[in-house]
Structure 1
Amino acid sequence: MEKKRVYTFGNGAAEGRADMKNLLGGKGANLAEMNLIGVPVPPGFTITTEVCTEYNELGKDYVVSVLKDEVEKAIEEIERLTGTKFGDKDNPCLVSVRSGARVSMPGMMDTVLNLGLNDESVEGIAKKTGNARFAWDSYRRFIQMYGDVVLGLKPQTKEDIDPFEEIMDEVKQAKGIHNDTELSTEDLKELVKRFKLAVKERTGNDFPENPWDQLWGAVCAVFDSWMNERAIFYRKMNNIPEEWGTAVNVQAMVYGNMGNTSGTGVAFTRDAATGEDIFNGEYLINAQGEDVVAGVRTPQQITLEGSRRWAKQQGISEEERAAKYPSLEESMPECAKELIEVQQKLEDYFKDMQDLEFTIQDGKLWLLQTRSGKRTGGAMVKIAMDMLRQGYIDEKTALKRCDPEKLDELLHPVFDKKALSAAKPVTRGIPASPGAATGQIVFHADEAEEWASNGKKVILCRIETSPEDLRGMATAQGILTARGGMTSHAAVVARGMGKCCVSAANNMVIDYKARTLTINGKEMKEGDWISIDGTTGYVYEGKIQTQDAELNDDFSALMELADKYARMEVRTNADTPRDARTARNFGAKGIGLCRTEHMFFEDDKILAMREMILAKDEQGRRKALEKLLPLQKTDFKGIFRTMDGLPVTIRLLDPPLHEFVPHDEKGQMEMAKVMGISYKDIHDRVEDLIEANPMLGLRGCRLGNLYPEITEMQARAIIEAALELKKEGVEAIPEIMVPLTGIVHEFKAQKEIIESTIKKVFSEQNDSVEYKIGTMIEIPRAALTAHRIAEEADFFSFGTNDLTQMTFGYSRDDVAKFLPMYIDKGFLKHDPFAVLDQKGVGRLMRMAIQEGRSVKPTLKCGLCGEHGGEPSSVKFCHTIGLNYVSCSPFRVPIARLAAAQAAIEG
């Protein structure tokens, strides 16, 4: 049986369903479902995502040949339902051609509207509608969009000139007009003529008049756009597989630009920025969809309440608002009422916040799309918890609805309230995406990317953004635009990225050529500092200090819910009481990695540490270690006290000694003076410590076995700290971890030193505490011989940073030279230092756990590498039976939610 590649929908019937998103894409599946539940949707059809794969593998000619019959029949169905004829000059069937991936990729791929128009059918439309201006406006839009998308006339760099925009500007300037809506029918005819001439000059071919040629060109252009630069970048940024492909949706055109009884807009069933349960959105009278998204005209609010809120933010009086910017409820009350009913129906049906696109054609409402709306991290949590309380969803669904990575948006700093109170805003715009950002002004996306790569913080300032600005937006601290609204490109993409964004800043003028930004006469130049508040919409000159975000009750409720279902605990990697306190406030159940070497770099310890390393003999080392002992003990007491009652895994000294000693003449002279020996002796000792490959040299347990006095000092400091706190009523639970074990004998030797030291301390103080001695599995050999090591160890902790490095043979310090190329070529799907390699490193981990527990069923196993805060890695750790993962303090909530989702998903 021939594979079905085209699925039709219209007039309440559909061949697809909402659960067919993998095949029909999100847009196509939801268009079908909206038909089935009685929502007014223009008829059309969807070409499946599988065809996109065929297109990329087998080419255009093959795809057109296999699609031809199905597409022609689907067009006939649109003709039947609309009473029009594709290619007819008097009663033409006009269609839109849009992309539709499994997940929303706003603005990343291409769209063509008004397809089917030509020199004959434009006259037919003019006669049929009695609106010649509308017909010619639609035609000039079609030529411009088709020329950009299909014929390749879209500018590729910021230096390129868009021939259509250049012609448009010339015509408007000659006529002395500023707005597209002021163009007359004759002006539009002139534009069409000049647009077609530009196509001929640029391509060498006439603009295609045949609607079927137009259709196949547009369909193939949408498939091509799946592989454009911005779509590829967006997929990488959001971990969307390339092999998914995009569907193509062909729909009968409905027009929002037929006059003052028509319009178009975008709406959300709840506030996408805050999560507030209030219907909101924007529309434009006498406009097509691209006008709203582009932000070239000031959009108006749908609801009266929203309109009044907007006017208050903008400092516009009620009288001016009602006269110039009436809500849809005021300008088209019947359509607004129907839209409000439809949005509620869709939210009730899909049981999630919906992002809607609609068009009103001559007083008739049509829905063009519904999808689960992109939202900020704060809105995500609020919507999930509100919908749980409202009975829309159950607890497991509420947890699954929340993307662990988006919690990151809630955990980062906002403006310091005291600093903010002293700052005076220079203007205010629309608070398009919450948060606070401070950075240097940059006007072009490529330069924002370059500045950011050099360690600078930047605010990307644009008149309006477009998909071509994506890379710059991704690297900027925040985005500021002169135009747009809550549904403009900048707003939607910024919210999806979790970036702070202020749009439509009042009285802001950007001069790209002069590289200046002027607000109310105040000129700021590229490189000047600016601060923006995406929660309030205020813009400030200069830097403003930040403070930690305040988490609300919804966040706490979500975390409690996560803990209810999670089967794996989350600890933190922390080396100071401050970090430990932060992590505990975020719900950490202990410390999975305390790196003792980080403590030695403080001023009061580094001299003693260097003295120990540079000593000529054991006696000299022990003398220096006596100075370090009380300092280490103080450090451990601070951390134990903070984590009272929770386990703390302390890794013994791990890095090569050369990292601690001075390599400059000034530092070596200082050490010579401190130790009372010659500069030459110090210099020679430092030279002796240099290794060809120090990360594989004298470090970890090798260091402790060569210089056992170091292990003795650290073990004593840990246990004495625990005993002293016990007398204060603080429960310290130390877990001593031996690093870099590769051979069981290495571990046994270290364990003997630790245990003999602990026995001495217990005897000296006539008291004891519970403790564990385990090891870090970070060498492949340790994983392969885990059954031997488990006979001696109380626990395993996978140090996946080094385990990844040694398994792949990649140097973490040098991998950036080739890893991007490996990912681009598909050798690797992810950076293995960011996302755990489940097939290689993960297999070693699984093997080690199975081997270890085969001899010690109660063996506790955890992970303390950076992967402990990455959601897919956390979920893998759940599947292989780890007891806990450990991550940086600000990643703890992310890991807690990921652990809960892993348990729910089984």
Structure 2
Amino acid sequence: MDKRIHFFSQNQGVSPKIAPELLGIRGRQANEFAELRFPILPGFILDTTIASELGSVDIKKEVKTLLDSCSKIVGKTYGDPENPMLLKIVVSSNLAVSDYPALHNFGLVKPVVAGFTQWVGETFAAHEVLFLVRGMLWIEERLRKLTGEGERMSGRLQELDRLLREHPPAKSAENYMDEYAEFFPQGFFENAEGQLLIALEEISKLLAVDEQNDRDTALLIQPMVYGNYGKNSCSGGFFSRNVVSGEKKLQGEFHQEKFNELGGNGQDIQKIDPRHLKELEGIAWTLEDRFKEIRQIRFTIENKRLWLIEQRPVDQKSTQADIKLLLDLAKRKIVDRAYVVKALEPLRLNEILRPMIDTAGVRGLKKWSGGIAGAPGAAIGRAYFSTEGLLEAEKLARQRGEDTRFILVLPASFAGDVKAIEVATGVLTAEGGYSAHASVVARQYGKVSLVAPALTIRGKKATLGNIVFSEGDYLTLHVPSYGEPSVYQGAASLIEPKPAESGLFELIAMAKGFLKDFHVRVNAENPRDVVLARSFGADGIGLCRTEHMFFQAERINVFRDMILAGSGEERKKALNKLRPMQRDDFYRIFKAMEGKEVTIRLLDAPLHEFMPHSRDELRAYLGYLEKNKKKKVSEAEICARIEALDEFNPMLGHRGCRIAVSYPEIYAMQIRAIFDAVYRLRDEKVAVYPEIMVPIVMNASELKLIAYGKKIEGADYTGIVEVEEALREEKKVKPVPYKIGTMIELPAAALGAADIAKYGCFFSFGTNDLTQTTLGISRDDFTGFMPDYTLFDLITGNPFSVLDPRVKELIALAVERGRLTRPDLVCGLCGEHGAHPGNIRFCMEAGLDYVSCSPYSVPIAILAAAQAELRKAEPGEGPGRA
């Protein structure tokens, strides 16, 4: 036997000494069945070293011997007129994608037609002749195209496609053989052995001239079996488990007395003969254990005998299904915990944390595709073009018992729109990108966000490509973790996530087992998000943005009173009203995060963001003043005072600690509210670990002033420490340990980290602003010119998603310098970059203690951190190989 020809069956596999790539992909798949002693159809492989040389090699004797071996196993004989064994030839490339067609029914010659027909019927027999002819003519067409010799066959191929669609066929099997005999060497339809050798030689000729073949394509020859070969036959296909839920139960169909699954309604695989079901289950779950993944399997039962046709990986499967499989494998000790943690791409967890579109529910809906994904998932709701309009519509819908799902549609969002984003199911904006305000807030609240630059809004109508919709019309947003986002006009149906049923909690617990010195915290401002994040494994709060707390309806106007106060006394009155509101917020947050650190960022946003941004908001505020303040203020007066707050560049203007320098009473109110909550919880025996973060610090003097105060001639500044001491003395209570730190979000702060660390116990890197101030790029406007920069390779990727190398350098430098001053300095990253797996390994190697991200990103960050920890232990890995 030629050593380049390899036989296999359910009783023997190809010799393990043969390199797998010599067999091609399909050959390897068939041999995998053989190695497992599964009921694979026997066959032989002409490996890559001989497949394209058959014109110069005589393999007639080997072929006859191998066909005899196949006959003994399948119970049919090649060329037998009563019960003929027919063959298929599979071009087994090493390429994942090959355009060679299926080549079936070799051995279907005139002497066997009658015998074959008695098993499958005249119609099927005629079509199988046409299928044989079509495969061979495709080979001839491709060969003539590549060599430039002979008349092209494309017209004949089109005719065969038409004939294959005819039911019943116009002619009998023998008549078709007579009609097409002229296209083949003499005797092609007369002798089964000769037909096979002719076919192999023609295919080999094609491989010899095909540019796709670099002597890396094999030929696989196997007998054919038929699901319509008698009453006790069927064909089918199934997955080794449910590809959506992950339930360990075969999912698929079988087709009784059908050659394959085309053109008929199948029956649930669970209804197949119990004997075969048990056999298929054993096969499926053995394959799962071997390949450690869900497999797709096709089979045929011919005259009660089961034969496997092929098995392969499954592309379209849910993340939940993969998690369930991996946990099952780990439970049975097939894989270890490290394997499970490393097996999943972290961003895939988005799929089980967010709703997804039911694809069957979008048929017939107008669709626009494109845009920039801000926050993944799917959302349905009625479109509203303003925060006020959406909130009013939501209020009416609740009163009337109507649908309360809404999509906020805006050119861009601002701080005042947070309350609408919290209520809405999704946000659609025209401006911004991944790190735009709408995207950041949407991720924070677990809402869907899409930036569509093509969106235009005029009055109560909006246009997005071919979609024109009015306020109140339904939209469906589909923002997948991978792939292109879409907007549908109308209401689709959703598949809601069920994390508790998905295996997510077990996976995260497993991942956290590999984290010892690194943690994941959450960015959260309300107890609901804190509880959610803790269920996802969060180890504390890394960023509580206090400005978000002031946008609630009962607070915003009081806060505006404080901003527009004409004197310090008026400002203190407004702050005194806000203090119990803040105290209650902090109380609930601390309690929900009991036993873990809670980092509270003092007021950061520019004051102008809290003022009315529309005429409707302005009128509502004027009405509030008239009703609650018992004074009538003109619109012009309020507009003038608002205008006085305007700045040319507010993000680099009067915000954060700079507001505290001008108005120390604002931070003093927040500190009192924090410790009001802390002392109360201490009395309730609740463990609280407050961390107070001062934002947008540019030098050590700022942090020193705000933390410890200062006395100069003619003025005193009361710092955080003094405010806490005074409150403690007033309440006559014992101190509670707390930390003061700062957010490093300016290059100046990073460079001055050694001095800043004298006054701060922790650094938290605000990488959204640090990226903006390092690169001089606005995160909200960057998308306008990012495509041009990408086109000319001026920048790699989105710096507001993946940390820029210069930003990384500043972070590493700040950590190093800060710890030279304060060796126990705690460092974290709380910008949106903390949610991206690509940044987490850098954070670990730079010596950070944690990252903090939105609640729905916590599991993703934990899994990414665990994978980074595991990679550190791999050979060839170590510091610096991010």
Among 715, 720, 734, the residue aligned to 2:671: 715
In the TM superposition, what are the counterparts of 1:647-662 in structure 2 within 5 Å?
647-662=597-612
Cα offset for 1:801? 2.5
1:172-183 maps to which residues of 2 (within 5 A)? none
Q: Which residue of structure 2 lines up, in the alignment, with residue 683 of structure 1?
A: 639
% identical equivalent positions? 33
Q: How does 1:143-154 map to 2 (within 5 A)?
A: none
- Aligned with residue 276 of structure 1, among 233, 247, 266: 247
Counterpart position of 2:747 = 780
1:811 aligns with 2:781: no
**Secondary structure of the structure 2 residue equivalent to 1:846:** helix
Task: Measure the CA separation in 2 of the matches of 1:96 and 1:604.
Answer: 72
Q: How does 1:125-140 map to 2 (within 5 A)?
A: 133-140=127-134
Could you give the per-residue CA deviations for residues 150-170 of structure 1, whole angstroms, max 9, x where no partner exists? 99xxxxxxxxxx999998997
- Of the structure 1 ranges 792-801 and 661-670, higher mean CA displacement relative to structure 2 is found in 661-670
Distance 2:37 2:18 in 1: 13
TM-score by length of 2: 0.64
Using the TM superposition, give the Cα deviation of residue 649 of structure 1 relative to its aligned residue in structure 2, in angstroms.
Answer: 0.8
Distance 1:709 1:839 in 2: 39
| Structure 1 residue 140, shift from structure 2 partner | 3.7
Match of 2:510 in 1: 561
- Go from structure 1 to structure 2 and tell me whether the alpha carbon gap of 1:818 and 1:147 turns closer, same or farther (over 3 Å shift): farther
Of 224, 238, 241, the residue aligned with 1:267 is 238
Deviation of the 1:598 alpha carbon: 0.6
User: CA, structure 1 residues 527+578, in 2 after alignment: closer, same or farther (shift >3 Å)?
Assistant: closer
Report if the CA contact (8 A) 2:226-2:300 is conserved: no
Among 78, 88, 95, the alignment partner of 2:90 is 95
What do residues 188-227 of structure 1 show as CA deviations (whole Å, max 9, x unaligned)? 889999xxxxxxxxxxxxxxx964685589874x99xxxx
Distance 1:610 1:758 in 2: 26
> Cα 1:74–1:613, aligned 2, differ >3 Å: closer, same or farther?
farther
Write the distance in 1 (CA, Å) between the matches of 2:567 and 2:772.
34
Alignment correspondent of 1:470: none
Change (3 A) 1:383 1:114: closer
Inter-partner Cα distance in structure 1 for 2:235 and 2:790? 41
Matched, 1:889 2:839: no
Distance 1:689 1:720 in 2: 31
Q: Is the counterpart of residue 628 in structure 1 residue 599 in structure 2?
A: no
Contact kept, 8 Å, 1:44 with 1:78, in 2: the verdict is no
Q: 2:692 aligns with which of 719, 736, 753?
A: 736
CA contact (8 A) 2:380 2:475 kept: no
Name the residue aligned to 1:354: 295
Count of aligned residue pairs for this structure pair: 689
Once residues 870 and 279 of structure 2 are traced to their aligned partners in structure 1, the CA distance between those partners, rounded to angstroms, is 39
Distance 1:399 1:216 in 2: 45
Cα shift at 1:736:
0.8
**Correspondence 1:133-532 to 2 at 5 A:** 133-140=127-134, 185=173, 211=203, 215=207, 220=212, 251-252=220-221, 255=224, 260=229, 265-284=236-255, 292=261, 296-302=263-269, 306-307=270-271, 327=272, 342-357=283-298, 365-371=307-313, 375-412=317-354, 441-443=362-364, 447=368
**1:869 and 2:829 are equivalent in the alignment:** no
Distance in 2 separating the partners of 1:82 and 1:719: 88
SS at match of 1:658: helix
The answer as to 2:736 corresponding to 1:769 is yes
| Structure 1 unaligned regions, length at least 5 | 1-6, 48-67, 102-108, 152-161, 194-208, 224-246, 308-326, 414-434, 460-475, 478-498, 500-525, 531-540
Q: Which residue of 2 aligns with 1:692?
A: 648
Matched with 1:706 is 662
User: Take 2:536 and 2:788, find their aligned partners in 1: how far apart are those partners?
Assistant: 37
2:817 counterpart (851, 872, 886): 851
Indicate conservation of the 8 Å contact 2:558/2:574, yes or no: yes
1:611 paired residue number: 561
Please give the per-residue CA displacement for 1:779-805, whole angstroms capped at 9, x wherever unaligned: 233333323322321111122233333
Residues 583 and 892 of structure 1 are in contact (CA less than 8 Å); yes or no, is this contact kept in structure 2?
Answer: yes
AA aligned to 1:738 is V
Tell me the equivalent position of 1:424. Answer: none
Determine whether 1:13 maps to 2:6: no
CA distance in structure 1 between the aligned counterparts of 2:785 and 2:179, rounded to whole angstroms: 49
Q: Report how far residue 686 of structure 1 moved.
A: 1.6
Cα distance change of structure 1 residues 46 and 840 upon mapping to structure 2, 3 Å threshold? farther
Deviation track 1:142-184 (CA, whole Å, cap 9, x = no partner) reads 8789999x99xxxxxxxxxx999998997689x676xxx9996
For the residues of structure 2 that align with 1:886 and 1:146, how far apart are their CA atoms?
Answer: 62
SS in 1 for 2:749: helix
Match of 1:235 in 2: none
- Deviation at residue 602 of structure 1 after TM alignment: 0.7
Task: Classify 1:748/1:348 alpha carbon distance in 2 versus 1 (closer, same or farther; 3 Å).
Answer: same
Does the 8 A contact of 1:612 with 1:624 survive in 2? yes
Counterparts of 1:571 and 1:187 in 2: how far apart (Å)? 75
Q: Which one has the largest radius of gyration?
A: 2
Contact 1:357 1:368 in 2 (8 A): yes
2 CA distance for matches of 1:838 and 1:451?
Answer: 19
Structure 1, residues 416-472: CA drift from partner, whole Å, max 9, x if none?
xxxxxxxxxxxxxxxxxxx8859974337955779999999579xxxxxxxxxxxxx
Deviation at 1:748, TM superposition (A): 2.3
How far apart are the structure 2 equivalents of 1:765 and 1:607? 30
Alpha-carbon deviation of 1:687?
1.7
Cα distance, 1:778–1:436 mapped onto 2, change above 3 Å: same
Structure 1 equivalent of residue 520 of structure 2: 570
Structure 1 window deviating more from structure 2 (753-762 vs 340-349): it is: 340-349
Q: Which blocks of at least 5 consecutive residues in structure 2 are unaligned? A: 67-78, 80-85, 118-124, 146-153, 182-200, 382-424, 427-447, 449-472, 478-489, 709-718, 873-882
* Mapped contact 2:227–2:235 kept (Cα < 8 A): no
In 2 relative to 1, CA 640–902 (structure 1 residues): closer, same or farther, beyond 3 Å? same
Residue 545 to residue 69, structure 1, CA distance change in 2 (3 Å): closer
Q: Quickly say closer, same or farther: Cα 1:785–1:528, change in 2 above 3 A.
A: closer
Secondary structure (helix, strand or coil) at the match of 1:594 reads strand
**Bigger Cα displacement from structure 2, 273-282 vs 384-393:** 273-282
CA apart distance, 1:355: 3.3
Deviations 1:356-393 (A, max 9, x none): 35567996835534447764333333322222222212
Task: Go from structure 1 to structure 2 and tell me whether the alpha carbon gap of 1:793 and 1:269 turns closer, same or farther (over 3 Å shift).
Answer: same
TM-score, normalised to structure 1, is 0.63
2:197 is matched with none
Cα distance, 1:394 vs. partner?
2.1
Quote the offset at 1:635 in angstroms.
1.4
Distance 1:827 1:730 in 2: 53
Q: Is the 8 A contact 1:733 1:771 kept in 2?
A: yes
CA RMSD of aligned residues (A): 5.5
Q: Distance in 2 between matches of 1:731 and 1:903?
A: 30
Match of 2:498 among 538, 549, 558: 549
What is the aligned partner in structure 2 of residue 427 from structure 1? Answer: none
Verify the 8 A CA contact 1:784 1:844 in the aligned structure 2: yes
Structure 1 residues 561 and 76, CA, compared in 2 at 3 Å: closer, same or farther? Answer: farther
Structure 2 CA distance, aligned partners of 1:609 and 1:732? 28
Deviation track 1:569-620 (CA, whole Å, cap 9, x = no partner) reads 2221111122222222333222111111111111111112112222345444
Q: CA deviation at 1:9?
A: 7.5
2:539 is the alignment partner of 1:589: yes
Amino acid at match of 1:596: T
Q: Deviations over 1:292-341 (max 9, x none)?
A: 5xx65334455xxx12xxxxxxxxxxxxxxxxxxx3767xx6xx787655
